[in-house]
Copies of this chain bind each other. A is one copy, B any other.
């Protein structure tokens, strides 16, 4: 029932459209994952990417926090490198380290080899496992919308060039300046890949999508606008004609206005007060920005913070409550449930 009227009026989707629904919607980035004992139990013996690519398992993991916390959205359990894996890039997720690529893409020849080997605008079949998980979820979720998910082209490119996580994305930023043509070809490829991955999820029933640009915060505004934003805009363009789109990164206070140009909603990290973000992107619905560090503070401290975030969010036309970054693995899940209960009274 991807177009059921009840789903269309879900608080999350109303807020993403810029309205103020009767109930303030809330969900948590990385709500499906290590903070939940039922997740840790389910993952025993299964590697991260295998879990993402097992439709029934990925669907079950996605549903766990929805059942437990009563959040206003499910977000597909996946990883930024999943589409890379699906088009044949040799990547694994190493526990405690993150994604590791067998062959970093450092030169124009590396970029050409990557593109020749793995089409960016992959056929929809490449993403079948993920589309199947989405279809299972849509039939299970009822009136709770599912948010689709992709890494932004810059973040994908940074993983490809660095060969894994990195502190300042130094090698990626070097390629950006040292060989702008090779960089552009790489960004065109990652933009097509992100776009196709989002469209596969939308086609299967995702009702909104979020583009995660984990590393964009390492760029100056000038570099971002010239060498990263055009690809994010391209990655979101077709999705945006069909569902609400959210654009998020951390350490991106200086990039918010640029990021807002590519999507309908902007996610804000804990460093930028929502009222300040609202002033820099007038008219744009905001998502965020409970400080994950506060999740481990006494409840009265956290409660005061959540109320302050909601109050600050009133400066925006619409607000979806979320964290300013992903749920830390050490989080007590009962605290998240309590936040949902609190937000729904505000």
The reply to whether B328 and A292 contact each other, CB–CB distance below 8 Å, is: no
In the assembled complex, the Cα of A291 lies from the Cα of B168 at a distance in Å of 11
* In the complex, chain B residues whose CB is within 8 Å of the CB of A141: none
Q: A220 to nearest B CB, angstroms? A: 5
Q: Is the interface of A mostly helix, strand, loop or mixed?
A: helix
The reply to whether B220 and A301 contact each other, CB–CB distance below 8 Å, is: no
Q: A297 with B168: in contact, given A271-B218, A272-B220 (CB under 8 Å)?
A: no
The residue from B170, B222, B293 contacting A328, defined by CB atoms under 8 A apart? B170
The reply to whether A271 and B219 contact each other, CB–CB distance below 8 Å, is: yes
Q: Which among A35-43, A171-179, A196-204, A229-237 touches the partner chain?
A: A171-179
Please list the residues of chain A having a beta carbon within 8 angstroms of any beta carbon in chain B: 168-171, 173-174, 176-178, 217-222, 251, 253-254, 270-273, 291-294, 296-298, 301, 305, 325, 328
A-B contacts, 12 of them at CB < 8 A, read A168-B325, A171-B293, A174-B296, A174-B297, A177-B291, A177-B305, A217-B251, A218-B271, A220-B270, A221-B271, A251-B251, A253-B254
The reply to whether B291 and A173 contact each other, CB–CB distance below 8 Å, is: yes
In the assembled complex, the Cα of A305 lies from the Cα of B220 at a distance in Å of 13
The residue from B174, B273, B305, B325 contacting A293, defined by CB atoms under 8 A apart? B174
